[in-house]
A = this chain, B = another copy of it.
Amino acid sequence: GAYDGTAGVAAAVALAAWFVERGQPPQADLIVTVTRAEESVWFPVSYAGSRMALGRLHPEELEARRRDTGRTLAEHMREQGFDPDAIRGLTPLRKGRFVEVHIEQGPVLSAAGDTFALVTGIRGGLRYRTAQIHGAWAHSGAAPRAARADSVFAFADLVTALDSDWAETLARGEDLAVTFGIVDAASPVHAMAKVPGELGFCLDLRSDDKAILERTDAKLAIRIAGIEAQRPGIQFALGPQSHSMPVQLSAVLLEGLRQAALALYRPLPEMLSGGGHDAAAFAAAGWDAAMLFVRNEHGSHNPDEAMHPQDLAEAVAVLAHWLDHKQDGN
């Protein structure tokens, strides 16, 4: 999308430009930070850029393999002109405060008629990126129902079971999101008239509570054991798990931004971020971190992302007001 990430960079530059144009600096140092590789589309490594800067990337994560090329993060960095070894010995950034402006990635603000919001926390994720269901290939007309080990039917069992577990979790007032982003029973070995013996899938679980992620993961194992028992010949192989921890953002920063918005405009709505963001990496490193979400009408991670520049300008004005009126001087 055109705004995911870029809007935040534009906001930080606009904020700095505002103080430059006024000719009078804010009460605290303002550093515009641009990080790369927040998204972990290709490598099973979350927040790679910010965690490198924070000195929190484990050396073995540089050896993580890109899902299409099979080559490591370090190899790809070298190819792009970067030096992964320099990162190994990097002195971590000195702790400070981190504020991130980002388009909302869902429809919540637009639907409520709000222009921007305070983000109070960032969901953590628990992911299986290369899960497989192994069954038995068979002729679609000739294999009797009882003799089949059909990976698509086993997959459907899993999805409907997790769908119902998900609904129950929400009904208890707990936070959870369940997504199967990729489902692959479409390789050249599959055919219309074959009982599918293999299916690959990705599973992405998210919650603001680590305990809920762990409980859902335990429930997943029970569901899988149940399906394997009911469908002889079916075997799940979830593969490696990757995860990121849920984080609460800084109560102190949030209060400052809350007051600034109230002074300039109105009370701000508050919400959770379902998507992961670099602010989570800063918070996990012990920084005070905060986020503002700007509404976006068509979801994110797609070509239809939409943002009104006026909404972003309002969010930047709140940051400027907060920096001008900070009481603690940090």
Contact = CB atoms under 8 A, between A and B. Distances in A.
Interface of A: 39, 41, 104-108, 111, 123, 125, 127, 129, 137-145, 147, 150, 152-153, 155-157, 159-160, 163, 166-167, 170, 177, 179-186, 190-196, 199-200, 202, 204, 206, 273-276, 299-302
So how many copies of this chain end up in the complex? Answer: 2
Given A107-B147, A159-B156, A193 B181 contact: yes
B275 A142 contact: yes
A93 B156 CA distance: 47
Nearest to A152: B180
B301 A194 contact: yes
Contacts of A170: 145
A45 to B, nearest CB: 13
A294 to B, nearest CB: 13
A126 B166 CA distance: 35
Contact of A274 (B143, B150, B199): B143
Nearest to A136: B299
Per CB-CB distance, the 9 closest pairs between chain A and chain B, nearest first, are: A141-B274, A106-B142, A105-B142, A156-B159, A184-B186, A140-B179, A183-B185, A142-B274, A105-B139
Nearest to A296: B142
A144 B108 contact: yes
Given A153-B159, A159-B153, A185-B183, A144 B195 contact: no
